[in-house]
Structure 1
């Protein structure tokens, strides 16, 4: 029996509890309530990525969770450390990403602490779970259970451990069995025969079928079965935005659905009379609230039943079943049709360059047309590099880069927040350390957390940050113009982003000639440092998605 001086402290055992979960990366910013725990975690072999802002710790762990398929881990201190994460937490909740966040708490035995607040209401208001660890004997079990909860509920779990209790000697038992030993992963749910009969009837009566796959159908077997079904029923393939690239090699893939869909794809969606949506929750934006396929019925195949999703009934018939098993059963039940919709002419429309029918519109100050910039990026960036697509007006253009597999693409946009791109790129770099990462961002988003260039440098992450710089918040200036209002509050000019990168010890280039892009990317590939490429773009070119919204605004204004 160890005497009291030899007993480990609570923070020692909590660090061991996390190591027991086989975590290998933690994103954090240290303070009094988490630094000793984090130091022990690092000593035990966990890679610590020390960020410059608390928000970025949680946001990076989101991308790590999505790209690795594991629980993301982050740590910040109590009080203001936690409140700085209040944008990232709901974003992780909306994206259904499993995270465990160690934040600590103010000391229990103190009558007052200047950073002390009731943390649970903040976390719960964001939709995450909060577990206060106030009993030493149960702390290791609570930490283990946090990993179980994060995986089973697919949302962040925040642990609050009072900093004075962390200093106490450990009086609990040995560590419990880790979550991966006690958790029984959910088994595939086979389709019910009655549901299969309804689904086969719906498909048999339809003549323009689109098989739409989400992340729940991104496994190779499910994707192969979706392709087979599309062939069998003379149908077209499509994906949700997060599953973009799943069918990138198929000549009859319309690409993504939703507001960012390409013009050729939108024409096809308008012709559809049945959408077979597999492995997707059918979010509001995926169907543009049903406007994307106005003539189509919707058959939804997913493991979670939701009659109402994001404010609307999104499916005419729902099947609660495994994607692969259901698709295989449908392939076995349905006869093969002759190809009519799947024509050479349609495949040619899908293969056409997304911006092939435009006239470049450079601005008077020499800024590039964003479509020309994206075409140059598409030609120069290797297809196997990891691509991180951000939010904001420029994201429409950067989404239109075909020929890139789903495994090499990441976007997390469910909460509609900009400013996450750099953090997401760090999370992907930590999950895929052997592959270069390319972040395609806007200047407004990039400048929100440009301090993380220092984290990228210190962590030696191979990240190419490409900033499409219109000198403004692009969505806002177009909307303000449509309303005839001053755009002053959304226009900020173009600071020297390349110089900012060099100030952090990274490579930085401003691209005045798009023809120079290949040699810049080649230099990045051969170098050992991250790089920022600042591409000035015109603020006069509207994306089709924005053009549609502007037309809706003008219609309403004229009606009033």
Structure 2
């Protein structure tokens, strides 16, 4: 026992939490611990940038609905993750990150930094582990905090303390999973349901909008469907929950800045939105413009009035998503069918997502055509990952794809995360094919991770909509009548870059080739980058609405 090091015990404390993967970039403050963790059977995925370690752990946590784990070294290793953490905080993603700290015994160290304020400034929790004998318990407590608060927890462990002989015994504290409160789902108060039923009785056009709270509540999706049918209402979801009602003929898909034309029309007519399991984010309501005539009734375990700077809900039912929706369904009489007509189902099915017309350009694709081709030909059981940026609007509209096969995390509005998210999904679903839809600007930010994908044999197909620019920025600049030169870079040969990393690479100039390419990839697996040159003249409704051309 005298020969055991503290980092041995800390690795065992992590391993007993039942983690499957740890996304890792090693340095002085974490490499001994990470090496020992790998020897416990945890799969270590060694990335090439610290940001990508944390971003990949985010996606794995969302896909597995569990705690994601990453590790970086102290100082510059930690500062690299400060873009990923706010996204994880805002997306309510539980993670534990072993970050290390500089040695306590030294009065000066080149990478010494007061790490705590940087981390807490992102909204994540930071714990300094400076007392050796309490470290295993504090690791357990960090996992418990991450699970219960659904946010990242970062552990700072000085690496000189990690290297000390372990002074305690070999008994570890009880794992956090065994200490979670064993409580049932929260039922609604009958008085709240009665008030909500009165609200329903006075409404004419009702939309049920489900968020991640409904995703995490077993049976909530079906309860929302039953409620919509009962009140002659339509269905929609927040962007992270998109696809929850993918096979329902009365689903409008995404509510928010990414809404389709028919969704905008119907939501604009609604006089009651029943928001089930959602925080009613700013973009979810397009800043209040999406359903301006509607009273918003929120069903959630943590009801709120103000969300992200605006009054988001007008009345509330505090309850689990499923139990709240079921109770309200039981409290209201069935309505005759008016809005949920065959004609409405046909319009939802047939109306173009975006019917705006743009001049045709030879040699490049309309991004809407690319998204339609993906929807038509990508196998239904493949895992899809949508990145951020201008092109992400189009791929969000693949209506046949269920929520469990589609991942979108964009709460911080940062590009450059797509390749990391794809790695996280590939780790969580090792037997699946993962398809990442990304923009060229986003992929280029962390193109080095192509080497990680090859080295770890991750089964990822990266489909890039390549407009040779930062798409959102060029359209915003043009709307202001300003030069777009600073955001235009030219169409990099991404297929050639992929081949240079040892992956497959194709430039897809003809969408008719897509079925053949997909079938070949299905047979071989592996990893590849497919480069789709797209027009930089097609502007998404998101940009058109927020940045209309300036009048002369």
8 Å contact 2:301–2:319 — kept in the other structure?
yes
Q: Find 1:270's aligned residue among 268, 271, 286.
A: 268
Q: Find 2:78's aligned residue among 78, 82, 86.
A: 82
8 Å contact 1:464–1:530 — kept in the other structure?
yes
Q: Find 1:339's aligned residue among 337, 340, 354.
A: 337
Q: Find 2:18's aligned residue among 8, 14, 22.
A: 22
SS of equivalent residue, structure 2 residue 532:
strand
- Within 2, Cα distance between the matches of 1:122 and 1:449? 23
Alignment of 1:392 with 2:389, yes or no, is: yes
Alignment of 1:319-468 (within 5 A): 319-352=317-350, 354=352, 357=355, 361-364=359-362, 366-468=363-465
Residue deviations 1:146-194, cap 9 Å, x none? 0011111111111111111111011134211110112214531110011
- Which structure 2 residue ranges, 5 or more long, are not aligned? none
The CA deviation at 1:305 is 2.6
Residue deviations 1:480-521, cap 9 Å, x none? 111111111000001110011001110000011111111111
- Within 2, Cα distance between the matches of 1:158 and 1:43? 22
- Within 2, Cα distance between the matches of 1:16 and 1:524? 39
8 Å contact 1:469–1:534 — kept in the other structure?
yes
Q: Find 2:513's aligned residue among 488, 513, 516.
A: 516
The CA deviation at 1:220 is 4.7
Quote the residue 1:311 is aligned against. 309
Alignment of 1:82-161 (within 5 A): 82-161=78-157
Quote the residue 1:60 is aligned against. 56
- Within 2, Cα distance between the matches of 1:550 and 1:171? 62
Higher alpha-carbon deviation: 303-312 or 200-209 = 303-312
The CA deviation at 1:363 is 2.3
- Within 1, Cα distance between the matches of 2:355 and 2:487? 30
8 Å contact 1:354–1:400 — kept in the other structure?
no
Higher alpha-carbon deviation: 366-375 or 157-166 = 366-375
SS of equivalent residue, structure 1 residue 287:
helix
8 Å contact 2:305–2:314 — kept in the other structure?
no
Q: Assess, with a 3 A threshold, how the Cα gap between structure 1 residues 130 and 100 changes in structure 2: closer, same or farther.
A: same
The CA deviation at 1:282 is 0.4
Q: Assess, with a 3 A threshold, how the Cα gap between structure 1 residues 361 and 430 changes in structure 2: closer, same or farther.
A: farther
Quote the residue 1:295 is aligned against. 293
Higher alpha-carbon deviation: 486-495 or 211-220 = 211-220
SS of equivalent residue, structure 1 residue 100:
strand
8 Å contact 1:498–1:532 — kept in the other structure?
yes
- Within 1, Cα distance between the matches of 2:449 and 2:258? 28
The CA deviation at 1:354 is 3.1
- Within 2, Cα distance between the matches of 1:312 and 1:14? 44
Quote the residue 1:536 is aligned against. 533
RMSD: 1.3
Q: Find 2:42's aligned residue among 23, 35, 46.
A: 46
- Within 2, Cα distance between the matches of 1:378 and 1:330? 35
8 Å contact 1:361–1:369 — kept in the other structure?
no
Residue deviations 1:453-478, cap 9 Å, x none? 11111111111100000000011101
The CA deviation at 1:543 is 1.1
Residue deviations 1:296-322, cap 9 Å, x none? 100000111322110112111022111
Higher alpha-carbon deviation: 85-94 or 176-185 = 176-185
- Within 2, Cα distance between the matches of 1:548 and 1:393? 13
- Within 2, Cα distance between the matches of 1:258 and 1:40? 46
8 Å contact 1:275–1:297 — kept in the other structure?
yes
- Within 1, Cα distance between the matches of 2:410 and 2:356? 28
Aligned residues: 550
Higher alpha-carbon deviation: 408-417 or 518-527 = 518-527
- Within 2, Cα distance between the matches of 1:357 and 1:421? 27
- Within 1, Cα distance between the matches of 2:183 and 2:64? 19
- Within 2, Cα distance between the matches of 1:215 and 1:28? 28
8 Å contact 1:361–1:368 — kept in the other structure?
no
- Within 1, Cα distance between the matches of 2:364 and 2:371? 13
Alignment of 1:484 with 2:451, yes or no, is: no
Alignment of 1:192-211 (within 5 A): 192-211=189-208
8 Å contact 2:365–2:535 — kept in the other structure?
yes
The CA deviation at 1:208 is 0.2
Higher alpha-carbon deviation: 183-192 or 14-23 = 183-192
- Within 2, Cα distance between the matches of 1:113 and 1:525? 51
Alignment of 1:25-36 (within 5 A): 25-36=21-32
8 Å contact 1:138–1:172 — kept in the other structure?
no
8 Å contact 2:218–2:322 — kept in the other structure?
no
Q: Assess, with a 3 A threshold, how the Cα gap between structure 1 residues 431 and 30 changes in structure 2: closer, same or farther.
A: same
Structure 2 length normalisation: TM-score? 0.98
Quote the residue 2:544 is aligned against. 547
Quote the residue 1:229 is aligned against. 227
